[in-house]
Structure 1
């Protein structure tokens, strides 16, 4: 539940996907990060709904959404997103993705560019090894290994393994693919983000119509920790100001 709202659900293959639909105007889709749900955007939704119809989606296996029986992958989650938009008769929307949600937004936009008006990528990456700082990425692998073992004996460990796996395995996008993102793109990162500066710069250099905003003294979670600036930056970009 977000702001007293109960989620609505759309059946996407073998999983019910939860979403929250608030506000009026041009659609803006919000995609949260790994292990989170739509409540991550609790500081954004009240402000964004003043200008847009906001659709906040709990990714498969996260929040109120089912995991289904296919395992978790960006390919499947991108299909879920398309199914949700089609069910809501949304032919075009802005998409804002945070962290893994940003990776999902890239994956979706490459496969379905006709659906995307503008793209906001907050702390997204393309390359796991070169893109994320080692102090953050390297500890994930032994944990994933342990969860892979325990996941054979328990559903809870198997679910944690599948969620963490999204941060361990490449998601099928390479730097040369980014040239196909023809829509306007805004990248937002913190000055002390867990995404390497080189990664952000290379992503931006590959996208034809892209600008980058670096939040001074910010980390990976600038939407939560610097909401006023984050909201203003996103709204101004989406409204062409």
Structure 2
């Protein structure tokens, strides 16, 4: 069964969602985030499961409802200002989010001394120092060194790989693994399976980019096997 049929989405909302998806193609990063919040606002009443969001929007995009002359004549131009956006998602990607909320922890010695805790989410960090950031490479390095390096962070993500004592997670459901985290105890991740939704705390060490992942160590699993509702709660958290 198609997801459109499963959630019984009427043609008007299919048209609105198709228009939004079409606008994303020519939008900037922040404009895309605002458009995603509108999509989630439209879908909220249908109680779409987290893992169905991406495939459902793909179905709608492929359906090209925004190009149907019949629907265009019936519903006309869509004013997104009148389309309610989902609270808490204006600057957050729909399928996946990270938050850092841990206590300041200091260690006594060494160049990798942990100097504090960052409460920034993965997406907030990427806007400043990631591949899509508008900052220069030198400025990215400065921001990373001052605000993120050697600090405790906590992200939510999907496990994409386990290699010995290293766990790779995808925090935005797009592209490559976003963060590679080394654990002191390999046994702590031995039973974890790919595709698992987890929350992990770690010390951020190395900046990532368009190809390389961010890197950290001293990983600790805060929660594994998150449910869809728990993941959605994290997504909508400010």
- After TM superposition, the score normalised by the length of structure 2 is 0.29
Q: Please say which structure displays the higher CA radius of gyration.
A: 2
TM-score normalised according to structure 1 size: 0.29
